Structures are given as structure tokens and as C-alpha cells.
Amino acid sequence: MSHENLTQMEDQLHAIGRKLEEDVAGLARHPQQSSMPEWSGADTVVTSDFMYESGGFKTDLIVRTRHARILTWLIFEIRDAFSDFLDATNKYDFYGSLGEAALKHLARHQPEAEDHRPLLRAVFAKAFEYFAYVQEHHNLPPDSLIVLHSQDAEGRQFREGFDAGDADEEE
């Protein structure tokens, strides 16, 4: 990716950050939210339905939050900013890590605050970690080869990624 494209991406991210801070009421909506009001993709679900359970293999990382719609807006905006890099080889870790950032924030801040911005800031910080990676490597890291979905004793979800080299490192 050229320096110009990286600058454009950085400008996009800064514009998202400004909108995040200015939207005190949480009214921002992405055009795609007319067909998908709450995020669901790449094994990551953002929902305002606190009773939601994943079907099938139950591998979805589920973020249950009262701020699902504004968090969905942010994920769409981040997706648009990283669109030149996202593909089938990296989208699961990318979106999963955004979901995990939200879950970690929510676990530390219960009961959930009325102000959506601290939650969005936590997820947005993860996007800037990815931006730093892109600046250095000119791509996104690939998905882990093996991902274990699990829950801790309190029922909080987490994902553990393993790559082929991980087994060799333990020896």
C-alpha cells in the first residue's frame, strides 16, 4: 500500500474518531444498517438481545450490549477503513479481536454505562493497533490456524488462537 493510501486510511480513522466523540446521543448509522441493524459476520455478533444464543456450532463471539446499534456503526466504519486489507484469510481474527475488545471493556465496566463512547473507544483502540500493524507490514495478520472458543468461570467468552509454530515453541 502506498504512503498516500496509508495517509487516506489514517484520515478515515481520525474522522471516525471525531464522529465517535461528537455523537453524544449515539445516533450515527452506517448505510448498511438498514439491512443489518446489528453486526453479524466472521463469527462475531453484536446484539442488544441479552438472551441471544448462537446456533449451529456455537462458535460466534457474542457481544451483548445496550449499545449494539452504535457499536455496529463503528464496526462498519472500521471495516470500510480497512477494506483494502480484509479478506477471507484475516477477517475472523480482525472482527473477533474487535469483539473481544468490547467484551473486555464490558467485563470491567458493569453495570454498563449509559454513555456508549467508552465502549466505542475501547474497540476503536484495537483498530488503531491494526493500523500500526498495517503501517509496518503493509497487510493485516492472517487468521490463526486453530481458534478455540471458550468461556471463563463467569461465562465470559474468549478466543484463543494457535498457529503451527506455537506447538514448536513449547518444546
Three cell numbers, residue 2: 502506498
Per residue in 64-78, pLDDT (tens digit) is 999 999 999 999 999
- Residue that the C-alpha cell 444464543 belongs to: 53
Distance, CA of 106 to CA of 24 (rounded, Å): 19
136 sits in which H/E element: helix 117-137
Per residue in 101-133, pLDDT (tens digit) is 999 999 999 999 999 999 999 999 999 999 999
Distance, CA of 124 to CA of 102 (rounded, Å): 9
The model's pTM is 0.86
Residue 64: per-residue pLDDT: 96
When pLDDT is cut at 50, 70 and 90, the band that residue 148 belongs to is: low
The DSSP bridge partners found for residue 46 are 63
Domain boundaries, the chain: 3-142
